[in-house]
Amino acid sequence: MKLKSLEQFESKDPCECGGNCGCGNTTTKINEAKKYKFKELAKAWEVVYGEEMEDEYQGFYQEVTGKYKDKVTKDDIATIWTAVYGEDIAAEYDGFYNDLKENIALSEKLDTLNEWGSSDQATFNKSMHKEMGNPKKMPSPFDDKLRSVAADNVDHYWDDWDEYDTDREGLIDNAVRHYLRAFFKKDFEMLTRMFASNDIAEGLLEGTMGEIHALANSAKDLGEFVKKFFKEYGEKVKKTADSITWVESLYDDMVKEANADGTISDDEDDDVENMLADVEYMVDELISYIKVETKKIGGSFRSPGMEAQCLKLIKETFKKHKVRL
């Protein structure tokens, strides 16, 4: 008599026969590989790279929907890509392929959040690129200007997402990655390959920007920063000639314009104080104007409603100019 194997126990054989009654349970596949439809792959591709997969890669589309009948495993994807384009998709497009499951999950999540889709993400990325000055060279993921531009666009486009109130910094990190992948795909993929694994690279880029800024500010010079960086992140970042060059560029991006106290210019404190005084004066003037005019037009009974309309207009104007109120 045949004994049930460990796999058969784990698969919860409904017959409980262990293959003794001829029901065919011994030929049941265990842990069959997940199969994806082209629509799922295309949405994930658009989230990562901001382009239409069907338009750009017709050969792949025809193979998946034709020969494979719109059901492909991850291994199938790699096989098709090599056959059609002569490329290793895991190496050339690892941001898409190696995180395929996560990218599909993210694309589905974006679809449910205010019907946010690939065209919306493309608009978001283009807005960031324009505000960055349409750079030809990929900026560092830790660049202050890039973070600021990402924050402005998050405040403008994603302020009604649930995550905005609970994890705004996480949304900013996502915005940075989506932008870099969309406009500097090859450079960004090369950057992630400097790390021990893509998952770790994503985690490092997402969660430690502030820590690395602090590390750069505390280091007395470039040499000390490089030494501290690899001591802190040596298990996550492969120490190679390329990664050392990249870490050195991080230091330059973070500290080249800053004074010892973290300010940009000698007069910065005075300039900020004067600016705030001017803003306070103008806000006081605006509030006084609103109160006088609404009272004159609507009297004490209807002026509160008019004041509310003015406040709504102010909020909408701030949002239009991507200023968080």
82 pLDDT higher than 90: yes
In this prediction, residue 111 carries a pLDDT of 65
pLDDT of 284-308, one tens digit each? 888 988 999 998 898 888 888 888 8
Q: Return the H-helix or E-strand segment holding 141.
A: none
Q: What is the mean pLDDT of residues 101-114?
A: 74
pLDDT at residue 128, rounded to an integer: 94
Q: Rounded to whole angstroms, how far apart are CA atoms 5 and 8? A: 5
Phi-psi region of 19 (alpha: psi -120 to 50; beta: other; left: phi over 0): left
- Pairwise CA distance, residues 17 & 143, whole Å: 62
**Lowest-confidence region among 104-108, 185-189, 223-227, 285-289:** 185-189
pLDDT in tens, 132-169: 999 988 887 777 889 899 999 999 888 887 778 888 88
pLDDT tens readout for residues 28-56: 444 458 899 999 999 888 878 777 888 88
Higher pLDDT, 205 or 97: 97
User: CA–CA separation, 216 vs 225, rounded Å?
Assistant: 6
> Tens digits of per-residue pLDDT, 57-74?
999 999 999 999 999 999
Distance CA 40, CA 273 (A): 52
Which is more confident, 129 or 118? 129
Give pLDDT tens digits for 306-316.
Answer: 888 888 888 88
